[in-house]
Structure 1
């Protein structure tokens, strides 16, 4: 804050430089020995009309550095120059589809897998076509086979050399046992298969993906609130998702020294193919819409955008976390 005397002195100096005059402040005496000092004025800078170039997350140099102005001025996504594998697209309602959509929009190159069989390949290919991705890299994968997992990553390594991210969006449990009141009697084979496909495969894929992340990387998996609280009908899948979240933390602990981050997203209920197998799923949707702070269910794109953030350098300090994208439902004691 300038007091009146200081303000008058400031105005006086300004007008003197402009060739004007002003009454001397009261109490100021003339000193003939003092000579006016000509302080050079800095020229005004022109308004900024170019493209602002921000440092890339993690100190990574922009892939267009040194390129012609036309290339530098194009709009770039924060995943430009990144490549990774997305496992789990079944159709356009899948969380994996929404994640691929967000990553593709931000400039990432997405590689895909599908369940073995021509029918599944056609279904997944239609979904990828809807994203506008031409000539996609798409390979069959039976996640229950160690050999299949190894071969997919081996082929990626031979063709591309490295990857930057991995999306694990698969889970499985026999729908006959995803009904309220049927957890206690879950057969051993149903229990172990759910744990194998839904949780173990994250560790198995990470084991092969991490060596390909030669410049660091990021991995995410998809979980649900039933991993933390008992949700009627979610049953053995809830146990498997709890194991998935624990797997996330242990992978993060081991892979952090290789600059590989591992996180998990707990998405709210969405009408995906797998979710519809859970008994009473419609009631879960209604309950969340009523009780969640946002008073609505989520959209797939919200999980997709969160995933793109976690997989990018924007989240370079985050690992071992389970992030909730559920309209705030997990924060409410109901």
Structure 2
């Protein structure tokens, strides 16, 4: 039986370690029949290259810093040179904030602006860069952490995620006439590189499983990755501007 993304060409960002949700999106997508190209940049490139060897098939790796206009402007041409003359889906799994952004009252505009550009505006930047190759019916999927609440320790990254979720809705509006969908997966806390960079992240780890009616395993990125692959498939042809929660049900519970 054919996989749900059989024959699709997907661009996957954000693979930094084997526990990354993006790694498992790439893995499941390949297992489900997709051809995958991945991105990384700077000093992390070598790590991504090494980790990618653990995928079912080692994919092409391109350099992409979503805050670098030269990288963005040349992305479509470099994809074509790598044999990708079209894209059926793009995963945005990118977030960064400097340490000062995790002090809400003390954080400077410089701290906040870096978080906003790298973690929110970059969704639009990536969409624009990939759009020349995106086919009718293709899908943009991003990863968020539910921004309805003022979480402990998340601070300006939480504000950036709220902007990220709003950016998704505006992209749904503007990409819809081109028959491109834009959706997000709101995952519960996973012990990833990004999570380890957040001071006090262990507060989430301690209580999430207790509050989740389905329970929650902070070491298992597969459920979130499966949701991403489903949204990258043709199984949600009329869904856009949506946030799919993969958090064990915490988002629906009272305090």
TM-score calculated relative to the size of structure 2: 0.95
Match of 2:53 in 1: 129
Q: 1:203 to 1:139 in 2, by over 3 A?
A: same
Alignment of 1:292-311 (within 5 A): 292-297=212-217, 299-311=220-232
- After superposition, the C-alpha distances for 1:245-290 in whole angstroms (9 at most, x for unaligned) are 0000100111111110000111000101111122221121111111
For residues 135 and 80 of structure 2, the distance between their equivalents in structure 1, rounded to whole angstroms, comes to 11
Match of 1:113 in 2: 39
4+ residue runs over 4 A deviation: none
| Aligned-partner SS, 2:53 | helix
Unaligned runs of 5+ in 1: 1-74
For residues 142 and 213 of structure 1, the distance between their equivalents in structure 2, rounded to whole angstroms, comes to 20
Does the 8 Å CA contact 1:83/1:165 hold for their aligned counterparts? Answer: yes
Unaligned runs of 5+ in 2: none
| 2:12 is aligned with 1:91 | no
**Aligned-residue CA RMSD in angstroms?**
1.3
Match of 1:238 in 2: 158
| Aligned-partner SS, 1:217 | strand
Match of 2:136 in 1: 215
| Aligned-partner SS, 2:193 | coil
TM-score calculated relative to the size of structure 1: 0.73
For residues 187 and 316 of structure 1, the distance between their equivalents in structure 2, rounded to whole angstroms, comes to 42
How many pairs align? 253
Does the 8 Å CA contact 1:261/1:320 hold for their aligned counterparts? Answer: yes
Alignment of 1:187-202 (within 5 A): 187-202=108-123
> Higher RCO, 1 or 2 (CA under 8 Å, sep at least 6)?
2
For residues 146 and 102 of structure 1, the distance between their equivalents in structure 2, rounded to whole angstroms, comes to 31
Please say which of residues 95-104 and 210-219 is displaced more in the overlay.
210-219
For residues 254 and 328 of structure 1, the distance between their equivalents in structure 2, rounded to whole angstroms, comes to 30
Q: CA deviation at 1:84?
A: 1.5
Does the 8 Å CA contact 2:100/2:106 hold for their aligned counterparts? Answer: no
Which has more strand, going by share of residues?
2
For residues 266 and 219 of structure 1, the distance between their equivalents in structure 2, rounded to whole angstroms, comes to 14
| Aligned-partner SS, 2:165 | helix
